[in-house]
Amino acid sequence: MALEHRASRPAIGGNSLLTTIRQLLGVSSSSARHDQEDSIRAAIISAVVSTEVGAQNGTNKTASLTFSRPPHDVTEYIKRRLPYPDDTSGFSDIFRCVLDKPGEPMKTVAVKAFKVPGIGRSPEVLQTHAKKLRGEIHIWSRLDHPNVLRLYGIADGFSHLPALVSQWAENGTLTQYLEGPGRDISKDERTLILVRVAKALHYIHSEHVVHGDLTGSNILINGDGQPLISDFGLSSILREYDETSYFHSGKPGALRWAAPELLAQSPESPPTIQSDVYSFGCVMLLTLSGQVPYNEIRDIHLAYAKINGIRPRRPTGLPIEDAHWNMIEVCTDSTPNNRPVLPDIIDYLARQRA
């Protein structure tokens, strides 16, 4: 599955991307909510879209977005569901279940069910969330790496939209792990986590995806202590032929980890490979010290501090060696082009373990 790019003449009177997707879904805004919900769900399950984007901002670029592999519907194989979620956030609930497919070993899975505010008031709300979910399925199902959380398929019955079914991470988030079972792991083990996260992030970029929201909460740790990058809900598909326009769903969700250029620009400004490197520098700080970045600054002052070039303070509780701190500083440089590339970061960290 891939995002294909091709240059051609724009269609006369080209539609907006949202209008084009609505037309492709075959659902009008005047349809009844129930019929629209069924139509959108069917479109998500088929996960097949081919759309041409016409003239945008005076450019003559076009792009074809193709979903060529449908996700597996594993609804009938989901067992042992509890009535309440194991974890919850502002936009989703996480249920711990068992996936029991014939011919395969039973496995514990996480079922991510999306909350859809206003679903009984506006059919357009469901349409908007269906579009975002479609994008997440497309991005996630393309990725295959030992340190990227695996997507098994989708399931009904958890929300108005299909839920995402992925592997269960026994040790929770990286932040939780470092506060609990991983509190006393060695410097070498911490560095190994960082090497694996960096390799996974570099792989994601090689697949023309920017994560866009890398934090200590969406790097998960499995039972073997292996890190797994998760949550591609804010990822962007890289469009190399048109740098002025991206398929994306919003600004980073966690201010402490976000690159300053994303805070200083308009909501339409997309995350980039360089902003992911900035976030990785913040993940380095957390992993090596156990402290979240900018621990010394209150949330209300964070954006101002970052925009004005203030970097995270070097922690003192669990000291970070000079070699590691130097890498954190260059990763969190306020100028994106001054940040290192991930292959150099990986080599540097690997040498520190030698």
- Residue indicated by tokens 């994601």: 204
Longest dimension (CA), the chain: 64
Torsion of CA 352, 297, 265, 250, to 10 degrees: 80
Q: Which CATH class is domain 17-21+32-47+70-167?
A: alpha beta
Would you kindly state where each structural domain of the chain is located, as residue ranges? Answer: 17-21+32-47+70-167, 172-352
pLDDT digits (tens, 9 = 90+) for 241-294: 233 332 333 334 478 999 998 887 665 578 899 999 999 999 999 999 999 999
pTM of the model: 0.75
pLDDT band at 61 (very low <50, low <70, confident <90, very high): very low
Q: Give percent of the chain above pLDDT 70.
A: 70
CATH 1.10.10.10 for the 172-352 domain, yes or no: no
Give the residue with greater pLDDT, 145 vs 212: 145
Q: Does pLDDT of 39 surpass 60?
A: no
Point out the least confidently predicted range of 211-225, 290-304, 331-345: 290-304
**Is the pLDDT at 41 greater than 90, yes or no?**
no
Least confident of 91-100, 188-197, 237-246, 327-336: 237-246
213 catalytic residue (yes or no):
yes
Query: What is the pLDDT at residue 234?
Result: 55
3-state secondary structure the chain: CCEEEEECCCCCCCCCHHHHHHHHHCCCCCCCHHHHHHHHHHHHHHCCCEEECCCCCCCCEEEEEECCCCCCECHHHEECCCCCCCEECCCEEEEEEEECCCCCCCEEEEEEEECCCCCCCCHHHHHHHHHHHHHHHHHHHHCCCCCECCEEEEECCCCCCCEEEEECCCCCEHHHHHHCCCCCCCHHHHHHHHHHHHHHHHHHHHCCEECCCCCCCCEEECCCCCEEECCCCCCEECCCCCCCCCECCCCCCCHHHCCHHHHHCCCCCCCCHHHHHHHHHHHHHHHHHCCCCCCCCCHHHHHHHHHCCCCCCCCCCCCCCHHHHHHHHHHCCCCHHHCCCHHHHHHHHHHHHC
> Tell me, what's the pLDDT at 242?
34
Pick the most confident of 14-28, 87-101, 166-180: 166-180
Indicate if the pLDDT at residue 112 is higher than 80: yes
Q: Which residue has the higher pLDDT, 250 or 89?
A: 89
Residue 160 or 340, more confident: 340
Work out the mean pLDDT of the chain and round it to a whole number.
76
**pLDDT surpassing 60 at residue 36:** no
Q: List the catalytic residue out of 93, 213, 276, 333.
A: 213
| For the ranges 24-28, 49-53, 196-200, the one whose mean pLDDT is highest | 196-200
